[in-house]
Amino acid sequence: MSTRADAGKPAPPWQTAAQPPETSDAIQALLAGYFQRLAEDASASRRDPSEAAAQAFRNRWLGRRQGVLQQLHETLLKPAPPAWKKALGQALNLLRREADALAEALEAAARQAAARQRLASEALDITLPGSPGAGRGAPHPLLRVMDEIVEIFAGLGYSRAEGPEMETAFYNFEALNIPPDHPARDEQDTIYLGPGLPGLLLRTHTSPGQIRVMQRQAPPLRVVVPGRVYRRDTPDASHSPMFHQVEGLAVDEQLSFADLKGTLEHFARVYFGTTRARFRPSYFPFTEPSAEMDVECFACGGRGGAACRTCKGSGWIEILGCGMVHPELYRFAGQASGRWMGFAFGMGVERIAMIRYGIDDIQRFYSGDLRFLEQFRD
């Protein structure tokens, strides 16, 4: 294809016609051959949607020195007799506008093609296998310990449930039989979400999960509720304003404290490898009776003495709180009271992990220090 402006150049129109045309169609027809060449050049250029091709097209037609329009200006308009200048000037303007519109369309298409190509080349192939070793992640030790705890109970038929971290005082306290004047409700201990979220607080334990589960599901049931909890504590080696718990709840027609002991002793055996456990009387408003469970120190075999750092010499390690579900809770959860018996327990995941791995400072879990975290990689 010829893109040269002077190829097959027609004779100047004033040599073939007596009068310049007046209608716009006839004026445009003066340069009919150029309009056709322009259209052909544009469709040829479209086959190569590059910015370079679009730029070359613009130069060929609109280039300041060599462009077809500039040449026509010099060779056709300038030498034209005065009577023809107006019509020829209008025809040239039409051609110029058409060339400019086509050049713009080609440039836009080229930009689009470039963007598409960039997107395609930057696309992530999620089907590619990962590169092992190079920065491969691993579950955080806390999530891992939490999953291991949940797994042990899953083996006993417990399902997993979750509750919201943002709770109401009803679920966090009232429905758990915690009286309005209980110190745990104090602003010193509980993070209330303030005037923007009236009535809401960050759950201080996973026990609201007991009520939420029993509201949804009638006994018999067995669930564990892992999750984050919050207390208004200043961070130090054994405190963090956010930590993790796993709650457990089993309710049936006939469950006794013996079932509670058997279940939790099984857990301790599997998780810590210990054989002996003891239950010390304790108090929680939502269990009655309540107990604290200790396992025999697996580091010193229960011998204790000043040398054992794991149990601080007592031979026992406290691992969780537990008890028989307080009868009031069934009522709060909308279940028939007097019909069900159950037990509940709650353990701190950080505490369990620290005991198991001999970690001396709870803050290590939250520091993001890879030297610490990488020790828990498989």
What residues make contact with ligand PHE under the rule CB under 6 A? 205, 207, 247, 284, 287, 321-323, 344-346
How many other CB atoms are found less than 10 A from the CB of residue 81? 10
Integer-rounded Cα radius of gyration of the chain: 41
| 355 sits in which H/E element | helix 349-357
Nearer to ligand PHE, 145 or 249 (CB): 249
**Closest residue to ligand PHE, Cβ-based?**
346
Nearer to ligand PHE, 177 or 207 (CB): 207
Nearer to ligand PHE, 30 or 322 (CB): 322
Q: Give me the least distance between CB of 205 and ligand PHE, in Å please.
A: 3
What is the distance between the alpha carbons of residues 264 and 276, in angstroms, rounded to a whole number? 11
Nearer to ligand PHE, 58 or 203 (CB): 203
What is the distance between the alpha carbons of residues 95 and 29, in angstroms, rounded to a whole number? 11
DSSP state of 184: G
Q: Give me the least distance between CB of 274 and ligand PHE, in Å please.
A: 20
Nearer to ligand PHE, 238 or 367 (CB): 238
Nearer to ligand PHE, 73 or 331 (CB): 331
- Give, in degrees to the nearest 5, the angle at Cα 125 between 124 and 127: 145
Nearer to ligand PHE, 8 or 281 (CB): 281
What is the distance between the alpha carbons of residues 245 and 319, in angstroms, rounded to a whole number? 11
Nearer to ligand PHE, 190 or 287 (CB): 287
Q: Give me the least distance between CB of 196 and ligand PHE, in Å please.
A: 26
Beta bridge partners of 160: 224
What is the distance between the alpha carbons of residues 35 and 98, in angstroms, rounded to a whole number? 8
Q: Give me the least distance between CB of 214 and ligand PHE, in Å please.
A: 13
Please, is 184 exposed, middle or buried when counting C-beta atoms within 10 Å of its C-beta (0-12, 13-18, 19+)?
Answer: middle
Q: Give me the least distance between CB of 229 and ligand PHE, in Å please.
A: 7
Burial code (b: 16+ CB inside 10 Å, e: under 16) for 330-344 equals bebbebeeeebbbbb
Listed in sequence order, the DSSP H helices in 123-205 are 141-154, 169-172
Q: Give me the least distance between CB of 237 and ligand PHE, in Å please.
A: 19
Q: Give me the least distance between CB of 355 and ligand PHE, in Å please.
A: 16
Q: Give me the least distance between CB of 207 and ligand PHE, in Å please.
A: 4
| 271 sits in which H/E element | helix 257-272
Residues 6+ positions from 5 with CB-CB distance below 8 Å: 34, 67, 68, 71, 72
Nearer to ligand PHE, 80 or 250 (CB): 250
Q: Give me the least distance between CB of 373 and ligand PHE, in Å please.
A: 26
Listing DSSP states for 37-64 in one string gives HHHHHHHHHHTS--HHHHHHHHHHHH-T
85 contacts 30 by C-beta, under 8 angstroms: no
